[in-house]
Each structure stands twice: as structure tokens, then as C-alpha cells.
Amino acid sequence: MKVGIIGAGLAGLAAGLELADRGHEVELLERRPWAGGATYSFRDDDTGDEVDNGQHLFMECTTAYRAFLERLGTLDLTFRQERLHVPVFDEGGRRSDLWSSNLPLGLHLAPALLRYRHLSLGQKLQIARAFLSLRFLQVHERGRLEAITFHQWLREKRQSPDTIREFWDFLTLPTLNCRASEASASQALFVLEEGFQKDARAVAVAVPATGLSALHVDPAIRAIEGRGGTFSSRAGVDRIDIKDGRVSGLALREGESRTFDAYVSALAPWRLLPLLPEEVRRMEPFSWLEAFEPAPILNLHLWFDRPVADFHFAAFIRSEVQWAFNRTRLGGEEESRGQRLVLSLSAPGDLFDLNQEQVRDRILPQLRRALPPAREAELVRYRVTKEPEATFVPAPGLVRPGARTPLPNLFLAGSYANTGWPATMESAVRSGTTAAAALDAWANA
Ligand SMILES: Cc1cc2nc3c(=O)[nH]c(=O)nc-3n(C[C@H](O)[C@H](O)[C@H](O)COP(=O)(O)OP(=O)(O)OC[C@H]3O[C@@H](n4cnc5c(N)ncnc54)[C@H](O)[C@@H]3O)c2cc1C
């Protein structure tokens, strides 16, 4: 069957690979000159370094994304921990690590939490109480978790504002790209259950050791093309035409059009809606998509003239820095001549509106306070990358669609689909393979 896939982000690439594997003739239509969507890399003119549009990490429990890399033969181009180990620095440079021990599931984080110096004993007892509540969550309680914020749930479990800010927001920022006050309780608890209650190794962190394009974008395009598929860049879709209750064709930006037997939308919800006729937008599940809001992420890339970090990555507490990744070490490069750090700032708020220099001037002094070796080091280069539509806000009340739609030959993929996972590479890959399987089943029915 001839299949048109709109959007060549991870969801489109995963759908394309799965469909091509199942013998369909696919064309990926991408509005930009390059593929990858929210995940790509480019060459920094000054240094020649491969820079990501935004630092990404994944975890042991993100099995679909790991399997995708295995299928592409690139899982080895990642740095993967056996078990969780994250150095955490406070605003004054005091370090205390979080790690996962060999104790049985449920107790595996206890030794680290007991020794963790950035929280008081009272805060640790609150956290233990919240984890116990999650463990014994009753079925009847689950229903309302969709409707309330994680913050509300935490307050019900008697978590203080300090504990929410210094521990729970610390977990939701990198995983949900928002604070507890914005996330639905069900989405946040899903992450906690996947990460902390199923397998002691689940939260072991993995980070690309190479640029995202070399890791999964280019290999996926090559694999799709190797199976007879096509990647068309600068092929933005302007309109999805509907006739007799099915998609009849796509109108492209440059006045061209394309016709296929079936279609996969692998677009963000706010990108898909304007392409559809008004009467289709009013139908479920399309009408649910109005409620999705994009959320930004900002990255500050810093080149220092000497080593400043003795870790692969670290987290920061009571500081706007959040997370730092030592790209030089992750890439296995020589560190004595300097290090490149990438600071990943989720839910950046007003920082997002500042220019590059203003971002540097606000964040660098905080990094230097929290990371003493950076105080003496000279910053030889910096750049800021901003992604205004990095993720969707996992707000209470969102209804996430499945792959099938009332238009029988249109299927939905994208990290916003009902995979259970937040807006992540895991969700994008899962949604792409699910949409491909649904399309294939429909084609063979
Ligand atoms: C800075 C940043 C950091 C992140 N950190 C992490 C992380 O650490 N871990 C993690 O798992 N996830 C992370 N994410 C989220 C993750 O990258 C996304 O959830 C995922 O990649 C989304 O994939 P997608 O295919 O659903 O959507 P997208 O990547 O948005 O793909 C949609 C594609 O459609 C194209 N398109 C749009 N309109 C049209 C049109 N009209 N016609 C044709 N094409 C069109 C777009 O150009 C794009 O290529 C991060 C995202 C960003 C931006």
C-alpha cells in the first residue's frame, strides 16, 4: 500500500520504518530541510562540534526507544549506566549523590535518600510517605488522578511546599518539562511507577554519546530508503483534503499535491489541527487536540578552556541550572584542553524570552557558584538553543487519542498519542509503531 507520512520527527521515522518493514511503500513528507523534528543535531560553525538542538536523555525503562536504536544498530553510540547514579550540587557547590543500591526493589533508593544531604530528615519522611501512598494506591483513587494536579495530590499526602519544590519539581522538570503544579497527578504518578516501582534498574540513565542526527535520524532515513521508502524534505503539508469520509490527498506548500492509499499524521496536535477542515476538527478525537499546549525547553551550550566537571552529567538543586551534561566526556573526547557542557533548562519561564547574552549572564554565575572548578575557567564560547514546542503540557483533563480516527485511512502518531508516556522519545517511537501496526491491520482486513 502507498502510505504518506506527514512529519519526519521520531514518531514519523518509527512509523516509516515499521511500515516499510511490513512491505508498504512509504513517503515521509517533512516541512523542514532536515528530519528529526524535536531531535536533531547540527555543526557549530566556530568549533566544528556536533551540537544537538537540545540535550536528550532516556532511561532503562524506555524500552521502545532502546529497541528502536537496537534495530538501527546504534545503541552502542550511547552512554548507559548500569544503575542510577547522579551527582547533585546545591547552589553553593555542596555535592551529594543520588544512586540506586543493590537492595530489593522498593528499598533500592533508601540508602541514597538517607544519606542525601540536600534534604532534611523531615522532608525525607514526607517523601517516604508519598512513595508508600503510591504503592498502596487504590483502584478507586486512580480515576480522579486525571482531573487533579500532581501538586494537589502531593498536598493531600502532606508534602510541604519546600519538599515539592526541592524534590518533586526536581523529578517532574526533566521528565515532564513542567512543575508539579502544572502536571496531572496521573501523568506524574505514571512516571514514578515506571521509574521506581517496577524494576530497580528502571531509572538508570542513558545519554547519546554522539549527535542525535547520527544516533537515530540519519540511520532511520537510511533504513527506510533501503526498504524502498522516500524522504522528502521541504515538503510541508498545507491542507489535508477529505472526500467521502476519507482522506483524498495532501496539498503541499509549493502548490504540489500528493495522493496515497493511507496517511499517518506524525505532527504535534497544534500543527495537525489547522490542516483539517472545520467540520473534521469538531469530530472526536480531533476535537480533543484543542486542549494540548506546547511547552518550551532552552539549552545553554558552554565551551570552557579547561576541565570544570568530573562527571558525565549532574543535577543542580536550588538553582536555575537544573542539569549539566559533559559532552566532551560523553563523546569520549580528550578533556585536558577544555570541556563542553550543555545545560538543559526545562520549563524555562521568562528565561526563554531573553537573548543569548542575557541567558548567559543569568545562568553562568549560578553555574560557577554551584560548580567551583568553573569559577577559574574561561568561557571561550557559548550559544543558546531554544525549542518553543519541545513538549506538550501534561495538564489535568487531557484526552490522548489512539491511532485510529473516524477517517478510516488516516492514522495518528506523535508523542501526544495515548501511549501513557509523557512527551518523550519513548512516546514518539511507541506511537509511530502503534500507528503503523493499526494501518497494516486495516490494510490487510
Ligand atoms: C530541547 C528538547 C529536549 C528534550 N528532552 C527530552 C529528553 O531528554 N528525553 C526524551 O525522551 N524526550 C525529550 N524531548 C521530547 C522529545 O524530543 C519529543 O517528545 C519527541 O521527539 C517528539 O517527536 P514527534 O515525532 O512526536 O514530534 P516532532 O519531533 O515535533 O515531529 C513532528 C515533525 O513534523 C514536522 N512538521 C510540522 N508541520 C508540518 C507540516 N505541515 N508538514 C510536514 N511536516 C511538518 C516538523 O518539522 C517535525 O519534523 C525533548 C525535546 C526537546 C525539543
Beta carbon of 145 within 6 Å of any ligand 1 atom:
no
Beta carbon of 322 within 6 Å of any ligand 1 atom:
no
Task: Tell me: pLDDT of 141 over 90.
Answer: no
Beta carbon of 202 within 6 Å of any ligand 1 atom:
no
Distance between Cα 7 and ligand 1 center (Å) = 9
The pLDDT tens digits for 95-105 are 999 999 988 88
Residue 138: per-residue pLDDT: 80
Three-state DSSP at 59 gives strand
The pLDDT tens digits for 279-306 are 999 999 999 999 999 999 999 999 999 9
Residue 157: per-residue pLDDT: 96
| Measured CA angle at 391 (ends 385, 396), to 5 deg | 145
Residues β-bridged to residue 52? 41
The pLDDT tens digits for 14-58 are 999 999 999 999 999 999 999 999 999 999 999 999 999 999 999
**Nearest CA owner, ligand 1 atom 34:** 7
Three-state DSSP at 254 gives coil
One-letter amino acid of 407: L
- Output b/e per residue, 200-225; b: 16+ Cβ within 10 A: bbbbbbbbbbbbbbebbbbbbbebbe
pLDDT: is 268 or 107 the higher one?
A: 268
With a CB cutoff of 8 Å and minimum separation 6, the contacts of 414 are 7, 9, 11, 265, 266, 267, 268, 269, 272, 428, 431
What confidence tier does 427 reach under pLDDT thresholds 50, 70, 90?
very high
Distance between Cα 8 and ligand 1 center (Å) = 9
> Measured between alpha carbons, how far is 149 from 181 in angstroms, rounded to an integer?
6
> Measured between alpha carbons, how far is 292 from 415 in angstroms, rounded to an integer?
12
Residue 230: per-residue pLDDT: 98
What confidence tier does 278 reach under pLDDT thresholds 50, 70, 90?
very high
Query: What φ, ψ does residue 91 adopt, rounded to 5°?
Result: -65, -20
Three-state DSSP at 29 gives strand
Task: Tell me: pLDDT of 246 over 90.
Answer: yes
The pLDDT tens digits for 54-89 are 999 999 999 999 999 999 999 999 999 999 999 999
> Measured between alpha carbons, how far is 444 from 29 in angstroms, rounded to an integer?
24
| pTM for this prediction | 0.97
Residue whose CB lies within 8 A of the most ligand 1 atoms, among 29, 39, 430, for a mutation test: 39
Distance between Cα 318 and ligand 1 center (Å) = 29
Task: Tell me: pLDDT of 197 over 90.
Answer: no
Structural domains in the chain, sorted by start: 2-33+233-291+400-444 (3.50.50.60), 52-59+294-392 (3.90.660.10), 101-200 (1.10.405)
**Nearest CA owner, ligand 1 atom 27:** 9
Is the CB of residue 127 less than 8 Å from the CB of residue 80?
A: no
> Measured between alpha carbons, how far is 52 from 428 in angstroms, rounded to an integer?
18
Is the CB of residue 195 less than 8 Å from the CB of residue 421?
A: no
**Nearest CA owner, ligand 1 atom 14:** 424
Atom of ligand 1 nearest to the CA of 55: 3
Distance between Cα 12 and ligand 1 center (Å) = 10
Is the CB of residue 167 less than 8 Å from the CB of residue 129?
A: no
Residue 136: per-residue pLDDT: 85
Residue 212: per-residue pLDDT: 98
What is the average pLDDT across 375-398? 97
Query: What is the CB neighbour count within 10 angstroms for residue 142?
Result: 12
Atom of ligand 1 nearest to the CA of 174: 8
Beta carbon of 208 within 6 Å of any ligand 1 atom:
no
Distance between Cα 39 and ligand 1 center (Å) = 6
Residue 104 DSSP class: P
Query: What is the CB neighbour count within 10 angstroms for residue 246?
Result: 15
> Measured between alpha carbons, how far is 407 from 397 in angstroms, rounded to an integer?
25
Pairing of strands 379-392, 58-59: unpaired
One-letter amino acid of 168: W
One-letter amino acid of 417: A
Task: Tell me: pLDDT of 330 over 90.
Answer: yes
CA dihedral (424, 428, 431, 434) in degrees, to 10, reads: -120
Secondary structure (DSSP) of 379-409: EEEEEEEEEEEEEE---TT-----SB-SSTT
Atom of ligand 1 nearest to the CA of 416: 26
Q: Where are the alpha helices (DSSP H) in 340-422?
A: 356-370, 373-376
What is the average pLDDT across 374-392? 97
What is the average pLDDT across 183-188? 97
